[in-house]
Amino acid sequence: MIDLFSDTKSRPSEAMRRFMMRAEVGDEQKDEDPTVRTLCERVADMLGKESAVYLPSGTMCNEISLAVHCRPGEEVICDRSSHIIHYEAGGPAALSGVMIRTVDGHNGIFNAEQLGAAIRPESRYAPRSRLVCVEQTANLAGGRIWPLETIREVMTVARQAGLSGHLDGARLLNAVAATRVAARSYAEPFDSAWIDLTKGLGAPVGAVLAGSRDFIREAWRLKQMWGGAMRQAGIIAAAGVYALDHNVNRLVDDHDNAQRLARGLAQMDGIGLDPADVETNMVFFDVAGTGLTAAEIVAVARERGVLIGAFGPSTIRAVTHIDVSEADVDVALQVLGGIVEDAGRIGTKKLAAAHS
């Protein structure tokens, strides 16, 4: 099975597993695990922050950050496509009691003028604007990269209004690989930032949140409160150390494979896609012209050995990652091309019915 559903499906390599087995461990809750400490120190340095904390997931990085930055009833400003809105189970409301104010950015990216218009004037009647959240890269926009200059302009407006900034860095290192802009440069304008160790880096568990020492002290308190503190966590943290040593530079391979996939899809009848829109490892394409729905194509592709995801009635997402080779991309193109051809040859209703 060629799994293009998400880069979250990436798996630890045999070399990573051997490295994990040799990890030094200690009580992570007591700050006694040397491997966790090494990982946190490396990520803090990478992002240019004073301190960092190892967390089980990127979602916990986001939710802890919102809770540290905001008080109940205050407001977070982000793009309407942001992960904190769509994929964190209502966590901002349930865990922190914060409001979300959305900005209708272009390809998941809003500008300084839009932010300025979204910031509420001080009023006892309105939520208080408190935090700006930027997602790098913008997932639902197709893995688009926030330009560094746009980030700086947005955060200048935020600072002038007294707002804090948080960088959701789930795929920050994909942006780094594509642009050669340092992670530290992307993170510098923000009060908090994190990187995911799973996804393209291939680790099985975890993310690292960075910020000032005071911020991380409060983050640790919430990590403990919400059940995220661990014991001999060095075994899984070692995967993150290995990933930073071996799997960062190879992210460009995923981008190359995504381009290969996009170019092949763009040549198929009924597929709507501009390869120029593919900036990192995500390929979103429209299948309305095939006569099949996204769900129907996903179902047929699964039966033929390729996993992809429907993101709407006619939109499909495919994501390249460490477990997807150039040869896998070629096979996936053959499968998807065959589905399109079969739809035209035997009819969409017969094809869909045969796989229902």
pLDDT above 90: residue 205 = yes
Residue pLDDT, tens place only, 101-126 = 999 999 999 999 999 999 999 999 99
CB atoms within 10 A of CB 301: 22
How far is 316 from 268, CA to CA, in rounded Å? 14
Q: What is the mean pLDDT of residues 142-150?
A: 97
How far is 191 from 49, CA to CA, in rounded Å? 9
Whole-Å CA distances, 331 to 8, 50, 283, 284, 316:
21, 46, 16, 18, 17
Burial class from Cβ neighbours inside 10 Å (0-12, 13-18, 19+) for residue 345 reads exposed
Name residues whose C-beta falls within 8 Å of residue 321's C-beta, 6 or more positions apart in sequence.
6, 7, 9, 10, 199, 200, 202, 254, 281
Q: Topology of 251-351 in CATH?
A: Aspartate Aminotransferase, domain 1 (3.90.1150)
Q: Given the DSSP bridges, would you call strands 129-135 and 75-79 parallel, antiparallel or unpaired?
A: parallel
At residue 351 the predicted structure's pLDDT band, cuts being 50, 70 and 90, is low
Q: What is the mean pLDDT of residues 229-257?
A: 97
Please tell me the predicted confidence (pLDDT) of residue 355. 60
CB 67 within 8 A of CB 59: no
Whole-Å CA distances, 33 to 36, 39, 194, 233:
5, 10, 20, 7
Q: What is the mean pLDDT of residues 239-257?
A: 98
Tokens at 36, concatenated: 């966790």
At residue 344 the predicted structure's pLDDT band, cuts being 50, 70 and 90, is confident
Please tell me the predicted confidence (pLDDT) of residue 110. 98
Cα end-to-end distance, the chain, whole Å: 19
Q: What is the mean pLDDT of residues 71-86?
A: 98
pLDDT above 90: residue 43 = yes
Please tell me the predicted confidence (pLDDT) of residue 343. 82
Residue pLDDT, tens place only, 153-175 = 999 999 999 999 999 999 999 99
Q: What is the mean pLDDT of residues 176-183?
A: 98
Please tell me the predicted confidence (pLDDT) of residue 80. 98
Determine which helix (DSSP H) or strand (DSSP E) holds 16, and give its type and residue range.
helix 14-21
The per-residue pLDDT of the chain, averaged, comes to 96
Domain boundaries, the chain: 12-246, 251-351
pTM: 0.95
Tokens at 12, concatenated: 């630890």
Please tell me the predicted confidence (pLDDT) of residue 353. 62
CATH of domain 12-246: 3.40.640.10
How far is 220 from 64, CA to CA, in rounded Å? 9
At residue 350 the predicted structure's pLDDT band, cuts being 50, 70 and 90, is low
Please tell me the predicted confidence (pLDDT) of residue 213. 98
CB 77 within 8 A of CB 120: no
Residue pLDDT, tens place only, 253-309 = 999 999 999 999 999 999 999 999 999 999 999 999 999 999 999 999 999 999 999
Q: What is the mean pLDDT of residues 206-231?
A: 97
